[in-house]
Amino acid sequence: MAGNRINRINEEIQKELSSLIRTLKDPRVQGGMVTVTHVDTTSDLRYARVFVSVLDKTKEKDVIKGLKSAAGYLRRELGQAIQLRYTPELQFSADDSIEHGAHILEMLRNPDVVKPANPANADIVLEDDD
């Protein structure tokens, strides 16, 4: 039952932070497209680990630094938007799950890496990328 509440709070924090990040004036954060992919809040609501993905991987460290420097502002604004007893302390981490998923998809499409389960189906082409 408590897990359900934490999941709802995580989703609400993710939604609010996504809109708040767009309002930041820090050039490190404005430079790249930032997506909040996941929020993981502790059960006592004291800390929230926020996973972000950046489109331009070369700017990822700068974006994380910019978000960490704006954590106080984001926490205050989040506290005003969400009515909780405690507003969690925000900890930002880079999320590479999108890149990892793209790499797995690329490997699955490579016939040298993945062999068909049934050799009789080796000549069947499901999608044509051309």
Q: Which helix (H) or strand (E) holds 8?
A: helix 2-21
Mean pLDDT of the chain: 85
pLDDT at 3: 72
Look-up of token digits 């790249």? 32
Backbone angles phi, psi at 33, to 5 degrees: -75, 115
What was the pLDDT predicted at 115?
67
Query: What is the number of residues in the chain?
Result: 130
Is-contact 24 66, C-beta < 8 A? yes
Q: Say what the pLDDT of residue 12 is.
A: 94
Q: What is the pLDDT of residue 129?
A: 53
Residue 23 one-letter amino acid: T
Going along the chain from its start, the domains and CATH numbers come out as 2-109 (3.30.300.20)
pLDDT band at 58 (very low <50, low <70, confident <90, very high): confident
Confidence category of residue 8, pLDDT binned at 50, 70, 90: very high
Pairing relation of β-strands 89-94 and 47-54?
A: parallel
pLDDT at 24 over 60: yes
Dig out the tokens for 105 from the structure. 């998809």
User: pLDDT for 75-121, tens place per residue?
Assistant: 999 999 998 888 999 999 998 877 788 888 888 887 777 666 666 66
